[in-house]
Amino acid sequence: MVQGASGAMLTPFAEVVGHPVAHSLSPALHRAWYGELGLEYEYGYTDVPPGKLGQYLSARPASQIGVSVTMPHKLAA
């Protein structure tokens, strides 16, 4: 758990961002690894349109512990 700005304890999560990204196997792989390690983390995906990566990253919540970046944003990162 991580502490949010309000002091509430939040479930840590990470995700992969790209466009399109719904087909990514990353969420299933990471969830399996977290489970094997006994970690209560979440991993998902968010479709972020081209040109919006900076805006998306600046609005991430405190409970987000990481982001994997894939196409087309790899080119910009």
Known catalytic residue at 74: yes
- How is 37-61 classified by DSSP, letter by letter? HT---EEEEEE--TT-HHHHHHT--
Active-site position among 8, 49, 51, 74: 74
**Residues identified as active-site:** 74
